[in-house]
């Protein structure tokens, strides 16, 4: 297996289901989706039945706090060993090119291993591989229990590269027709269509070379207008950061007794180019419950003369104003619940963060810490936000979508983003499990 420690990657050995296995039943969506909808996972279980499936190799997080969690973990780890013993999985050496089409969009990715020695999820990290959003340490511990004695890993981690000249993945796309197809399948429950292809050694070498070029300090400094001493950010974790953080935590436990090339040092991920037209960033709005204090007064105290807060006549005007924005200002919509639902727009000059969501989240954190409201939630979609903001005592905050082209520069300049800054699609668009990789000898 070829490894390049400088750019933190390894060409993987991947396990795929053997021919004859029903891939539509094999592939299930990422375990951290539908966490408030156990009926979804019950529907998956009924659909899969007794067939071999990744459902039996992963722990849907809707059940994370269930009383039978230890039994579920033991069953998962036993099934992994059984699938290997029964030759239900076949090894494939090398990177895999992946295409996923869902809701009329096609994403293009590449399966490879990242070196966990080059990844750090702690606040203020400047590692080569970084999270894009804050890591909640408490979420790692229960996931460690699942991975600790697991012989296989199955990734739903999506990692972004910033490759505007399309040098890494897109050359593979142009040669797809000459590659060996490893799998193709429709995905269950509106998940779209998935296909994977084997890279030959020449294409793999091109991937290594192209990533090395992206990681050159001079190239990096010129692209982002920073000094050459600024640590390079090559890989930004878009989805599944807590899973990658779990892999890191387990590796740190193993490292004192393990060899440098132990398979647990690496984690299998799918990398995608942030410039891929199939990748869409959607905003995640905020909703306060049980507002106790004067929010308008709190905003004015926080931002002073930098705040321009104006009522608007309708949701349509609010949405238009937020998306139109003003040069040099950050604009956020407010939906104030009560007998008569009202709308407003807050424009903030000289903001404290590169993105409106960062400026707003800092204010909301302070407001909540001062007992200004009972709680906060994070809402997908305009319609859902309007409906949930309607009752008295609630205030919704309508945010603009983050430009995906601003992601890397923002993380480089501001550090990790506030949690729930953006979403790479809705739940059914998240990664479905197909590939596995052995992490214990």
How far apart, in Å, are the Cα atoms of 244 and each of 100, 129, 324, 411?
21, 10, 36, 18
Instruction: Name which of 243, 230, 195, 234 is nearest 97 in CA terms.
Output: 195
CB burial of 382-400 (b: ≥16 within 10 Å; e: otherwise) equals: beebbebbeeeebbbbbbb
Residues 57, 47: Cα–Cα separation, whole Å? 16
Write down the number of H helices and E strands in the chain: 13, 21
Domain that holds residue 321: 282-401
The count of domains in the chain is 2
How far apart, in Å, are the Cα atoms of 306 and each of 106, 251, 319?
42, 47, 21
pTM of the predicted protein model = 0.85
Residues 167, 32: Cα–Cα separation, whole Å? 31
Query: Does residue 191 belong to any structural domain of this protein?
Result: yes
Taking the CA atoms of 359, 364, 367 and 372 in sequence, report the sign of the dihedral they define: positive
- Looking at the structure, tell me whether residues 111 and 220 fall in a common domain: yes
Residues 234, 8: Cα–Cα separation, whole Å? 9
- Looking at the structure, tell me whether residues 169 and 156 fall in a common domain: yes
Query: Does residue 219 belong to any structural domain of this protein?
Result: yes
pLDDT of 414:
82
- Looking at the structure, tell me whether residues 216 and 319 fall in a common domain: no
User: Model confidence over 167-208: pLDDT tens digits?
Assistant: 999 999 999 999 999 999 999 999 999 999 999 999 999 999
Burial of 134 (0-12, 13-18, 19+ CB in 10 A): middle
R_g of the chain computed on alpha carbons:
23
- Looking at the structure, tell me whether residues 54 and 151 fall in a common domain: yes
Tell me if 380 sits within 8 A of 426, measured CB to CB: yes
Residues 325, 265: Cα–Cα separation, whole Å? 45
Residues 291, 371: Cα–Cα separation, whole Å? 9
- Looking at the structure, tell me whether residues 90 and 177 fall in a common domain: yes
Query: Does residue 13 belong to any structural domain of this protein?
Result: yes
String of DSSP letters for 383-417:
HHHHHHH-STT-EEEE-PPPPGGGHHHHHHHH-SB
Query: Does residue 321 belong to any structural domain of this protein?
Result: yes
- Looking at the structure, tell me whether residues 152 and 167 fall in a common domain: yes
Q: What is the pLDDT along the chain (441 residues), one digit of tens a residue?
A: 899 999 999 999 999 999 999 999 999 999 988 876 889 999 999 999 999 999 999 999 989 889 999 999 999 999 999 999 999 999 999 999 999 999 999 999 999 999 999 999 988 999 999 999 888 777 788 899 999 999 999 999 999 999 999 999 999 999 999 999 999 999 999 999 999 999 999 999 999 999 999 999 999 999 999 999 999 999 999 999 999 999 999 999 999 999 999 999 999 999 999 999 999 988 889 999 999 999 999 999 999 999 999 999 999 999 999 999 877 899 999 999 998 999 999 999 999 887 899 899 999 999 999 999 999 888 878 888 998 899 999 999 999 988 899 899 989 988 888 778 888 887 889 999 999 999 998
Residues 215, 31: Cα–Cα separation, whole Å? 32
- Looking at the structure, tell me whether residues 206 and 314 fall in a common domain: no
Burial of 299 (0-12, 13-18, 19+ CB in 10 A): buried
- Looking at the structure, tell me whether residues 121 and 166 fall in a common domain: yes
271 beta partners: 110, 159
- Looking at the structure, tell me whether residues 432 and 390 fall in a common domain: no
- Looking at the structure, tell me whether residues 244 and 111 fall in a common domain: yes
Q: What is the dihedral of CA 14, 92, 75, 141, to 10 degrees?
A: -10
Query: Does residue 407 belong to any structural domain of this protein?
Result: no
Whole-number mean pLDDT of the chain?
94
Query: Does residue 209 belong to any structural domain of this protein?
Result: yes
- Looking at the structure, tell me whether residues 161 and 267 fall in a common domain: yes
Query: Does residue 50 belong to any structural domain of this protein?
Result: yes
Residues 24, 364: Cα–Cα separation, whole Å? 43
Task: State how beta strands 307-312 and 342-349 pair.
Answer: antiparallel
- Looking at the structure, tell me whether residues 296 and 205 fall in a common domain: no
Query: Does residue 418 belong to any structural domain of this protein?
Result: no
CB burial of 182-210 (b: ≥16 within 10 Å; e: otherwise) equals: bbebebbeebbebbbbbbeeebbebbbeb
How far apart, in Å, are the Cα atoms of 276 and each of 60, 148, 406?
29, 35, 14
């Amino acid at each position: 297996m070829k490894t390049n420690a400088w750019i933190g990657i390894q060409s993987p050995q991947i396990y795929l289901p053997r021919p004859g296995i029903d891939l539509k039943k094999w592939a299930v969506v990422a375990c951290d989706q539908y966490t408030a909808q156990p009926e979804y996972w019950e529907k998956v279980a009924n659909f899969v039945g007794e067939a071999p499936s990744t459902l039996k190799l992963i722990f849907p997080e809707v059940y994370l706090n269930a009383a039978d969690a230890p039994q579920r973990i033991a069953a998962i780890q036993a099934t992994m060993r059984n699938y290997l013993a029964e030759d239900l999985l076949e090894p494939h050496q090398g990177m895999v090119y992946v295409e996923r089409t869902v809701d009329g969009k096609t994403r293009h990715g590449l399966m490879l291993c990242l070196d966990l020695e080059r990844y750090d999820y702690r606040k203020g990290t400047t590692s080569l591989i970084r999270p894009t959003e804050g890591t909640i340490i408490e979420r790692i511990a229960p996931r460690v229990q699942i991975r600790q004695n697991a012989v296989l890993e199955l990734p739903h981690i999506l990692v972004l590269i910033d490759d505007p000249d399309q040098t890494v993945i897109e050359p593979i796309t142009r040669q797809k027709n000459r590659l060996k197809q490893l799998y193709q399948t429709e995905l269950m429950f509106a998940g779209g269509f998935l296909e994977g292809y084997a890279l030959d050694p020449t294409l793999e070498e091109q991937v290594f070379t192209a990533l090395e070029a992206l990681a050159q300090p001079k190239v990096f400094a010129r692209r982002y207008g920073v000094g050459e001493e600024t640590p390079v950010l090559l890989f930004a974790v878009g989805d599944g950061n807590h899973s990658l953080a779990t892999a890191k935590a387990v590796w740190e436990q193993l490292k004192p007794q393990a060899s440098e090339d132990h398979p647990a040092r690496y984690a299998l991920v799918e990398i995608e180019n942030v410039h891929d037209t199939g990748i869409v960033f959607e905003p995640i709005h905020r909703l306060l419950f049980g507002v106790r204090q004067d929010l308008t007064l709190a905003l004015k105290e926080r931002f002073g003369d930098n705040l321009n807060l104006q009522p608007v006549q309708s949701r349509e005007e609010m949405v238009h104003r937020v998306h139109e924005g003003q040069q040099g200002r950050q604009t956020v919509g407010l939906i104030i619940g009560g007998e008569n639902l009202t709308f407003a727009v807050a424009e903030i000059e000289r903001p404290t963060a590169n993105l409106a969501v960062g400026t707003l989240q800092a204010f909301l954190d302070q407001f909540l810490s001062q007992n200004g409201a009972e709680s906060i939630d994070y809402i997908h979609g305009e319609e859902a936000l309007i409906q949930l903001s309607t009752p008295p005592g609630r205030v919704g905050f309508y945010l603009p979508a983050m430009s995906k082209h601003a992601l890397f520069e923002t993380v480089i300049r501001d550090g990790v983003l506030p949690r729930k800054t953006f979403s790479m699609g809705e739940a059914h668009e998240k990664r479905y499990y197909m590939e596995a990789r052995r992490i214990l000898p």
